[in-house]
């Protein structure tokens, strides 16, 4: 028999209300005791006595055994989560930035105090990717995980490629629909998918990576020339986070716009939908698809975690505890499309093996190979308005990189 959960809910915005809609009227053996909000003056449909602006009223309440954290403020979410875990309360969170930045510490707190932190809703909304990486792929050799992790940027790109909408118009529409913030850089700049990628990589490979060590390049510099080039090649551009094993013991991570071909699962993932591709040694390629945003889809993922807590479910982080010797590296070269205006950009980014080049007065591009390490070291160049970069999907290796891979395979086989 499941145990009864008595919940303290932090945040009653889109997701909080979506969660309440889902659980209302169902016999789920749980009860929301108190809801923390910011604005007590706002009119709400629930009993006013259910709400509080005092976090301590929830965190110090011994009757409450489960905290559900659904607020936007990552630092406040971290404080709430840490205090709850230390007091032995289980936590369900949807805050990807907080989790990505503090995951190693939060794992230690769970083990020390015997509490559980679940966060399926923090990565790709309604898609159950975390628990699948944790459980289904527990003993599988994963070659890579990639996909569309951000509904806002995907909505914008869908409008551009399917309806010939201008970037600015598509962005405004996404903002009007609530998919993008007034300052949309977290989404279109690739920060949101970077945090999600860091979390997914922890469960895919057992690596706790500082998000600052993951390259993220967004779509904010996309222009008509880039769109025309992609369409001429029958590609779509998608913002794709990737974690990939490039050798026996090395994993690379990055978030980049990518030219996607029509035979790629991601080609037909449109609007606010997300899609995750997992490439495994034995299960081969598998694809997860679903809504990545919205109160009810995300609320459903939160409820899935809450329901799991009734049976004392915990992430075991088996791949992390196995100490499998995997390391995070930037030791790989990727082939990219690079649009630029200043010739010095090619030298600064150390573009090699150029296989295609075009130049006119107002538009220049090359297709060539660039080291991921060089891109990380020159993020400021990639943020310049006259520069746009997209991954072609291909990897290239220097002789030194090939030698490293060969030595690893000899040593570990």
User: What residues pair up with 216 in beta bridges, in sequence order?
Assistant: 255
Identify the active-site residue in 89, 96, 194, 196.
196
Query: What backbone torsions phi and psi does residue 195 show, to the nearest 5 degrees?
Result: -60, -40
Would you state the structure tokens that stand for residue 83, as one six-digit string? 């205090």
**Is residue 196 annotated as a catalytic residue, yes or no?**
yes
Dihedral (C-alpha) 98, 103, 105, 111: value to the nearest 10 degrees? 120
Report long-range pairs for 401-409 (Cβ below 8 Å, ≥24 apart). 401/331, 401/332, 401/333, 404/247, 404/250, 404/331, 405/246, 405/247, 405/248, 408/247, 408/248, 408/249, 408/250, 409/247, 409/248
Question: Coil, strand, or helix at residue 177?
Answer: coil
Residue 42 and residue 291: Cα distance in Å, rounded? Answer: 29
Q: Do residues 146 and 133 make contact, with C-beta atoms less than 8 angstroms apart?
A: no
Query: What backbone torsions phi and psi does residue 36 show, to the nearest 5 degrees?
Result: -90, 130
Which phi-psi region, left, alpha or beta, contains residue 68 (left: φ > 0; alpha: ψ -120 to 50)? beta
- Closest alpha carbon to 310 in 121, 65, 17: 65
Query: What backbone torsions phi and psi does residue 186 show, to the nearest 5 degrees?
Result: -60, -35
- Closest alpha carbon to 386 in 339, 346, 350, 343: 339
Alpha-carbon dihedral sign for residues 209, 285, 151, 291: negative
Residue 412 and residue 178: Cα distance in Å, rounded? Answer: 50
Residue 53 and residue 35: Cα distance in Å, rounded? Answer: 8
Catalytic residue positions, numbered: 196
């Amino acid at each position: 028999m499941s145990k009864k959960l008595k919940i303290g809910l932090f945040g009653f915005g889109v997701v909080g209300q979506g969660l309440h809609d889902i659980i209302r009227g169902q016999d789920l053996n749980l009860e929301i005791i108190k809801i923390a909000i910011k604005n007590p003056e706002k009119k709400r449909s629930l009993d006013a006595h259910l709400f509080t602006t005092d976090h301590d009223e929830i965190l110090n309440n011994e009757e409450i055994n489960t905290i559900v954290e659904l607020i936007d403020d990552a630092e406040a979410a971290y404080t709430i989560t840490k205090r709850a875990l230390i007091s032995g309360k289980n936590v369900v969170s949807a805050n990807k930035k907080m989790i990505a930045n503090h995951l190693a510490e939060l794992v230690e707190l769970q083990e020390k105090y015997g509490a559980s932190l679940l966060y399926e809703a923090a990565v790709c909304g309604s898609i159950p990717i975390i628990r699948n990486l944790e459980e289904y792929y527990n003993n599988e050799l994963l070659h890579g995980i990639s996909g569309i992790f951000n509904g806002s940027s995907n909505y914008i790109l869908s409008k551009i490629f399917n309806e010939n909408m201008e970037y600015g118009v598509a962005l405004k529409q996404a903002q009007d629909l609530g998919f993008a913030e007034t300052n949309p850089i977290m989404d279109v700049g690739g920060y949101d998918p970077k945090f999600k990628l860091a979390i997914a990589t922890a469960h895919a490979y057992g690596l706790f990576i500082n998000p600052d060590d993951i390259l993220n390049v967004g779509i904010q510099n996309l222009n008509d020339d880039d769109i025309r080039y992609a369409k001429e090649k029958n590609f779509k551009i998608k913002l794709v986070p990737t974690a990939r094993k490039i050798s026996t013991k090395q994993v690379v991570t990055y978030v980049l716009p990518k030219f996607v071909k029509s035979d790629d699962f991601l080609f037909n993932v449109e609007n606010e939908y997300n899609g995750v591709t997992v490439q495994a040694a034995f299960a081969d390629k598998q694809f997860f698809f679903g809504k990545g945003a919205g109160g009810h889809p995300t609320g459903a993922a939160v409820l899935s975690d809450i329901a799991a807590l009734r049976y004392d479910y915990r992430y075991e982080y088996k791949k992390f505890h196995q100490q499998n010797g995997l390391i995070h590296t930037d030791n790989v070269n990727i082939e990219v499309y690079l649009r630029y205006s200043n010739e010095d950009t090619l030298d600064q980014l150390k573009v090699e093996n150029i296989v295609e080049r075009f130049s006119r007065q107002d538009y220049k591009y090359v297709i060539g190979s660039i080291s991921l390490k060089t891109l990380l070291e020159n993020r400021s160049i990639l943020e310049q308005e006259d520069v746009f970069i997209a991954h072609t999907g291909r990897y290239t290796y220097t002789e030194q990189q090939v030698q490293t891979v060969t030595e690893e395979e000899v040593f570990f086989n």
